[in-house]
Amino acid sequence: MPTNRQILLDNRPQGEATLANFKLVSTETPALQDGQVLVRHHYLSLDPYMRGRMNDAKSYAACQPLGQVFQGGTVGEVVESRHPRFAVGDKVVGYGGWQEYSVVDANQPGMLKKVDTTRVPLSHYLGAVGMPGVTAWYGLNKIIAPKAGQTLTVTAASGAVGSAFGALARARGCRVVGIAGGPDKCRYVTDELGFDACIDYRQHGDVKSMSAALKAECPDGIDGHFENVGGYILDAVLLRTNAFARIALCGMIAGYDGQPLPMANPALLLINRIRLEGFIVSEHMDVWPEALAELGQLVGSGKLRPRESIAQGIESAPQAFLGLLKGKNFGKQLVKMV
């Protein structure tokens, strides 16, 4: 059996997460039992929600146990199978965690899914045609539920969720304004993803400046907002919302590493009769088939061109993850191992 390098959560962060929270170990993969499949991971998915799992505190993502393989989505290839529905060579998406191989009990529903890589590259099943894409789909369709012609905004617009949100919203005839960090990301958001505009938050570092930029790009106000970041950007968005605006609250990455970030003026939620809803997409599995079908078409037709930041080798996962928390990635952050 092959040697399997793994990243464990060794200890919990005090404030900011650091490399010292993780530990690299090597083990042997065990012999398969009936019903099991050995998957060699090609890519690990790195996602902001993982930061919440590192804490002991109550979080929407269950707590990551100490001393165990760091959990997360994976895509790979079946290299050995003792299950009739999986054959060596099958490409699969699963939840194998930060390791090079995983042994999967394939009888458990939802643990492993075969995917077709003829039109969609394997890695995209961790991004645009995976959990992040469905996250964008759910927030857009089930919470914001916009009408054609309305104006929508999204933070972290160049990321895996934001980019999918933009493509889906454009397909519904909305004006979509992204918010991202730096000119390269903003150019990608408008030129490759087809957003109507993108605001560089590095040029608008306080609520007043961001609010003015939003006013310029959203002359008819904001009807719906998809939030990945929180903090002063959300405060500025609230100042530009129209009556009955809806906010899908998906992430607040700006506050993940330290003290909670306040919302400056929640009375705006009342003044503008806003509906705000927090959600986690894994609690809405019923929408996944419909969402994945649409996302697969958008990627297959080239209307959604996901960008990826790829770190090499399992040992690079912690550093790449810390970079993701600081917005150093460009598009979906992955770790490539094959």
Interacting residue ranges for its own copies, rule: CB under 8 A: 52, 58-60, 230, 234, 249-252, 255, 260-267, 269-280, 283
Per DSSP, the residues of 219-262 read TT-EEEEEESS-THHHHHHHHTEEEEEEEEE---GGGTTSSPPP
Report in angstroms the alpha-carbon separations of 190 from 20, 52, 199, 223, 281: 38, 31, 10, 20, 26
Considering the complex, state which of residue 69 and residue 245 has its C-beta at the smaller distance from its own copies: 245
Find the shortest distance in angstroms from Cβ 253 to its own copies: 10
Find the shortest distance in angstroms from Cβ 137 to its own copies: 17
Considering the complex, state which of residue 66 and residue 271 has its C-beta at the smaller distance from its own copies: 271
Find the shortest distance in angstroms from Cβ 246 to its own copies: 9
Strand partners, 334: 45, 310
Considering the complex, state which of residue 193 and residue 252 has its C-beta at the smaller distance from its own copies: 252
Q: Which residues, 6+ apart, have CB-to-CB distance to 205 below 8 Å?
A: none
Neighbouring CB atoms inside 10 A of 315's CB total: 14
Considering the complex, state which of residue 205 and residue 262 has its C-beta at the smaller distance from its own copies: 262
Considering the complex, state which of residue 261 and residue 287 has its C-beta at the smaller distance from its own copies: 261
Closest CA to 247 of 231, 269, 232: 269
Find the shortest distance in angstroms from Cβ 221 to its own copies: 11
Considering the complex, state which of residue 65 and residue 278 has its C-beta at the smaller distance from its own copies: 278
Find the shortest distance in angstroms from Cβ 156 to its own copies: 14
Considering the complex, state which of residue 46 and residue 274 has its C-beta at the smaller distance from its own copies: 274
Alpha-carbon distance of 233 to 217, in angstroms, equals 14
Alpha-carbon distance of 311 to 322, in angstroms, equals 12
**DSSP 3-state of 292:** helix
Alpha-carbon distance of 77 to 83, in angstroms, equals 14
**Cβ 157 vs Cβ 180: under 8 Å:** yes
Find the shortest distance in angstroms from Cβ 272 to its own copies: 7
Find the shortest distance in angstroms from Cβ 243 to its own copies: 8
Alpha-carbon distance of 108 to 95, in angstroms, equals 12
Backbone torsions φ then ψ of 306, nearest 5 degrees = -70, 145
